[in-house]
Amino acid sequence: MSNIATPNKKISLFSAVALSATCMVGSGWLFSSQLAAKEAGNWAFLAWVLAALLVLSVGMCLSKVVAIYPVRGATTRSSSLSHNNVFGMPFSFANWFGIMVTVATEAQATTQYLSVAIDKQSLMGDDGLTLNGKLLALGILVLYLVINYYGVKLLAKINNVITVLKVFTPLFTIGVLMLAHFDTSNFHLATTGGFGAGSAITAIVGAGLIYSFNGFQTTVAFASEIKDPTRNIPKAIIYSIGIVLTLYLCLQFAFMGAIPHEVLANGWASLNFSSPLMNLAILLGINFLAILLVADSVVSPSGTGYAYLGSASRMLYAMAKEGQMPRWIAKLCPVYNFSKRSMIINFILTALVLWNAKSWASLMVVVTGYHIIGYMAAPVSMSALKPKTKAFGLVVFTCLGMIMTTIPSGDLLMMNISLSILVLVFWVIQRKQGFAHLLLFSAPFMIYLWLLYISPNWIVSLALSIAFFLFVTNQKYVDFCKKEKEKEKEKEKGKEEIVGEEIA
């Protein structure tokens, strides 16, 4: 007889689609329709399609990596698997940090929405959340922790129910807005706002579209816990992105058509609702919709928050497994089959970020930038593991590089500084490997990011992206990275043997 519990059931394709869709319908859907209209006018629809194609391309790159290595936390580990853990460290940190901070923004968003229904002055002040607001937000984080703490099976069951509610509310909102008021003349305003095709590209980051779609990669983070990952992960990515894109396009159409024309006297750029959909519902006198939106504004961010906390914990576990973080973190709970240590660490860090953050909006663009940096590992890893896919990988990587140039320079500077500091800390921790060793593997990407920051124009940025990609996916460089990885494994094996002999 054994006291060890049987492993949790694997996640089905439906649950995998639901998990990604849940993360993609978070706080973003409550704001992005207005932001996209302000940034791009009628070109907002193209912006949504371009954002979806971009994340779908990244998702397909990740699915190719997972087909070879269906491991836990594959989103973070991809570049470590294709090259080595030193090379993959900047990507891993950016991906993990972006997901972790998103958990804080979702909890903060939920608290801000609740402040409207409960007592705004008690929970919100001029400088952001009050003490009571922060305590409530921390309580929401604890709820995320409890849901994740009892394993993936409970997470999947709760998530399936939440997903139905989260998809129903936007659909219901679309239908009500279309029936209540629809002014086709609103769509002629694009010609007076100075918008063009370039507006669609800048809106991908500025309007939070990447932020809204980022949940697609959650399925990849749960790769080892999904049934038949080689077949189901790409399907889950395609289905979830397709469903959510359709939802966002319909919502954009309904939102833009439902706004009374007199409100748009100065064009789309002047639109400035604090809570766009709720303000619009009140303006149109649809009080029951306003009440529903208050309820969903709690459900949607919370559903994204608890799913991301689970995803972030698996990412940190993966980084520890690859030696990028202390290895004691990578201990799995035998009952629930995940790292509780990783979960607790993520919870503490997220709580610290939440306690010191001022607003949801102030973090959104920075979080998006970290996400894009994390995405860059996908085409690089895929091309290194499957050289025949290099042409596709080059296109995806250069597109990501161009999108990086639309991030405000101050935010890009902040991201570069934070990543550089982490790299330096990592060098200090791993100094026994030798400075030259660390410099050769982790410096190329950091140099690329700094050159991208000081780049004078998009042509230079494009050339930099192509040059970096071709260098790090060159077979000689990849083979050299792998050789160093094997040497590190041999050293670790030798240490374990020595420890075993001493114990004996």
Model confidence at 5, pLDDT cuts 50, 70, 90, reads very low
Using the structure block, give the residue that is written with the tokens 């993959």. 88
Q: How far apart are the first and last CA of the chain?
A: 29
Amino acid at 180: A
Top-confidence residue, 214 or 154:
214
Determine the pLDDT at residue 258: 93
Determine the pLDDT at residue 476: 92
Determine the pLDDT at residue 7: 47
361-376: per-residue pLDDT in tens?
667 888 889 989 989 9
- Examine the pLDDT at 37 and tell me if it is beyond 80: yes
- Examine the pLDDT at 44 and tell me if it is beyond 90: yes
Determine the pLDDT at residue 3: 38
414-453: per-residue pLDDT in tens?
889 988 887 887 777 777 777 777 788 888 999 999 999 9
**Minimum mean pLDDT range among 19-23, 206-210, 268-272, 475-479:** 19-23
Determine the pLDDT at residue 190: 59
Best CA proximity match to 445, nearest among 489, 494, 401: 401
Determine the pLDDT at residue 226: 83
Q: Residue 313 and residue 330: Cα distance in Å, rounded?
A: 10
pTM for this entry: 0.82
Top-confidence residue, 452 or 158:
452
Using CA of residue 458, residue 463, residue 464, residue 468, what is the dihedral sign? Answer: positive
Q: Where do the DSSP E strands lie in 107-202?
A: 124-125, 128-129
11-30: per-residue pLDDT in tens?
888 888 887 887 788 778 88
Determine the pLDDT at residue 502: 43
105-142: per-residue pLDDT in tens?
888 877 876 776 676 667 777 777 788 888 888 898 88
Determine the pLDDT at residue 261: 87
Model confidence at 156, pLDDT cuts 50, 70, 90, reads low
Question: Are 283 and 46 in contact, with CB atoms under 8 Å apart?
Answer: no
Give whichever of 89-103, 181-195, 204-218, 241-255 has the largest mean pLDDT: 241-255
Sorted by where each starts, the structural domains of the chain and their CATH numbers stand as 13-369 (1.20.1740.10)
Is 224 buried (19+), middle (13-18) or exposed (0-12) by CB count in 10 A? middle
